[in-house]
Amino acid sequence: MPTPPTPDPDAVLSGLAPVVAVDTTILILGSFPGAASLAAQQYYAHPQNQLWRLLSDLTGEDLRALAYAERLARLLAHRIGLWDVLGACERRGSLDADIRNPAANDFARLRHLCPLLATVGFNGQTSGKFAPGFAAAGYRTLVLPSSSPAHATLRFEQKLALWRQLIS
């Protein structure tokens, strides 16, 4: 039996589509999906990523207990969207530090996709580099501690306290 081909580490990876609606008021922007998320074609699919736990606490719903499609529907019902700052890049593994040849998403279409958008939260420092551009466009911006398991300098409760700013 032949072995499957090894993925090309220099291949350009494409990100996920935005999860937004016309009434989205809060958008959370990550950097670029990790390997587990790309494989599953789901935002924040790595089981140790704390994003769904954080959002469960913010919304008062256990989003983690829901199937992915229902998770997204409930998130949108709370007028919260998800996307990434990068639409494509080259990267081995899942670390932001390994991103090469990044290509930003087309944010000009945000005003059309979600005209009520007011707050943009950046999930970590890598995506947070885009905050000044969003602030200049008139959005309230928050650079939040990363929900990634690779960033464990803060306890969950400390992260949650900072993430609560999204809804205040």
Q: Which residue has the tokens 């090894």?
A: 6
pLDDT at position 10 is 63
pLDDT at position 11 is 83
pLDDT at position 95 is 85
pLDDT at position 101 is 95
Q: Where along the chain do its domains lie?
A: 13-167
pLDDT at position 96 is 86
Q: What is the pLDDT along the chain (168 residues), one digit of tens a residue?
A: 544 444 455 689 999 999 999 999 999 999 999 999 999 999 999 999 999 999 999 999 999 999 999 999 999 999 999 999 999 999 988 888 899 999 999 999 999 999 999 999 999 999 999 999 999 999 999 999 999 877 678 999 999 999 999 998
pLDDT at position 4 is 41
HEC states along the chain?
Answer: CCCCCCCCCCCCEECCCCECCCCCCEEEEECCCCHHHHHHCCCCCCCCCCHHHHHHHHHCCCHHHCCHHHHHHHHHHCCEEEEECEEEEECCCCCHHHCEEEEECCHHHHHHHCCCCCEEEEECHHHHCCHHHHHHCCCEEEEECCCCCCCCCCCHHHHHHHHHHHHC
Q: What is 13-167's CATH number?
A: 3.40.470.10
